[in-house]
Amino acid sequence: MRVASSAAIASASLLVLAPSSFEAGSRPAALVFSKVPGRAVAGQAVTVSISRAVPGSRCSLKVKYAKAPTPLVQPAIAGGGKASWSWTIPVSTQANWAQLTATCGSKSVSKRLLVVGALSPAKLSVVKDGFSIRKAAYGNGTDVSYGVIIKNTSPNADAQSVNVIVNFVLANDHLLGSKSDSIASIPAGSSYNLGGSMSFPGGAPIARLEIVMQVGTTAPHAGHPLGIANVVIEPNLPEDGWVSDVAGEVINNDPNKVLQSVSFSAVILDGAGNVLGGGTGLNYGALPPGTRVVFKLTTGGFRDVSMTQASSVLVSATPTWQ
């Protein structure tokens, strides 16, 4: 009986020790993503986590979007075998899958993350453009007034720091000159009325305009347009036959903010809606909420537009708030 009992005890010991010995010789556990959201929204922060890393190891995360720059995510040290990362997805990132790859030492793991686009990218198009030509009052020079109506077709993204190049094209398709204009912002779903002028030392037999546009940055739509009312086109002199300026009233329709200044740009149209030219202007002075003030635009090419042809005017106003 003693012999039999000893053998039974030895057999039981082997059964208890066997699992430990097998575990010691097994491969290290693979990394896994322990926290990944079902989807992430462009413009918002996101956090992901991994587990089963070697405690104290240095871990990195690489994020690759389908159509956006790769963000720089700071490395993390695995505490208790876990590491986490948080970053903000660029607001302009379009809806698509993003590839996540976490690496800790020699181990790595990958997973896809669904990104939901928050913005429709700001896209600009030229609705219409036109110009008027007038011989300079002195010398052999020529003055050209131009106007361009630009539409931002995005429903929710403002186009900011917009650069517009107006090329003056001859009949042989050569350029006679170029003018560059900067627009602070073209709000989502709105049009901007760009007016200006350029002078040439001689004649200016321009056949057409060529417009080049580039958006500097895109941002979620913010704010609302100022109120513009009682706009008129004023003649230089009754017998002169040319436009002098564009005047009207600007209304601060924000309930809380004080309007510090306004940058104006205007395009003049004939009776058929064709663009004749345009110009710009500025208004300074604090304007409290719910109040209005007269503006008068005199800069640019207004005086190169025929008063007899001028029928209506479109005004864009870009505010600066106090």
Give mean pLDDT, residues 80-109.
Answer: 91
pLDDT tens digits, 267-280: 999 999 999 999 99
Residues 136 and 272 reside in one and the same domain: yes
Q: Are residues 146 and 223 in the same domain?
A: yes
Please indicate, yes or no, whether residues 83 and 135 belong to a single structural domain of this protein: no
Q: Which residue has the tokens 């698509």?
A: 96
Give the residue with greater pLDDT, 53 vs 224. 53
Question: In terms of domains, do 64 and 147 share one?
Answer: no
pLDDT in the model for residue 27: 59
| Each residue's pLDDT tens digit, 140-182 | 999 999 999 999 999 888 999 999 999 999 999 999 999 999 9
Q: Regarding beta strands 40-41 and 107-116, do their DSSP bridges make them parallel or antiparallel, or are they unpaired?
A: parallel
What CATH number corresponds to the domain at position 222?
2.60.40
Q: Encode pLDDT of 227-238 as tens digits.
A: 999 999 999 987
Which of 116, 135, 169 is the endpoint of a domain?
116
Is residue 268 within 8 A of residue 305, CB to CB? The reply is: yes
- Statement to judge: residues 149 and 281 lie in one domain: yes
Neighbours of 239 (CB within 10 A): 6
Residue 4 is predicted with a pLDDT of: 47
Provide the pLDDT confidence category of residue 28 given band limits of 50, 70 and 90: low
pLDDT of residue 152: 97
Stretch 238-253: mean pLDDT: 94
Count of helix runs (H) and strand runs (E) in the chain = 1, 21
DSSP character at residue 187? -
Distance (Å, rounded) from C-alpha 131 to C-alpha 244? 16
- pTM across the whole model: 0.67
DSSP 197-236: EEEESS---EEEEEEEEEEEEEEE--S-PPEEEEEEEEES
Residue 267 lies in a domain: yes
Looking at 68, 88, 116, the residue that finishes a domain is 116
pLDDT reported for residue 288:
96
Distance between CA 273 and CA 128 in Å, rounded? 9
SS3 state at 301: coil
Distance of CA 193 to the CA centre of its chain: 19
Q: CA 92 to CA 158: how far, in whole Å?
A: 11
- Judge if 258 and 135 occupy the same domain: yes
Whether 12 shows a pLDDT value over 70: the answer reads no
| Residues 87 and 131 placed together within one structural domain of the fold | no
Domain holding 45: CATH number? 2.60.40.1930
189-205 mean pLDDT = 97
pLDDT at 46: 95
> 43 and 135: one domain?
no
Q: Which two tokens stand for residue 41?
A: 């929204």
The Cα 278–Cα 298 span in angstroms is 10
- Would you say residue 285 lies in a domain? yes
Ordered DSSP codes for 113-174: EEEEP--PPP-EEEEEEEEEEEE-SSTT-EEEEEEEEEEE--SSEEEEEEEEEEEEEETTS-
Mean pLDDT of the chain: 89
Cα angle 118-123-124, degrees, rounded to a multiple of 5: 150
> How do beta strands 292-297 and 275-287 pair?
unpaired
Residue with tokens 């002098």: 244
**Chain segment 209-227, per-residue pLDDT in tens:** 999 999 999 888 888 899 9
What is the domain range of residue 94?
Answer: 32-116
What is the domain count for the chain? 2
**Mean pLDDT confidence for 116-120:** 75
Query: From CA 93, how far away is CA 273, in angstroms rounded?
Result: 38
User: Are the C-beta atoms of 146 and 198 separated by less than 8 Å?
Assistant: yes
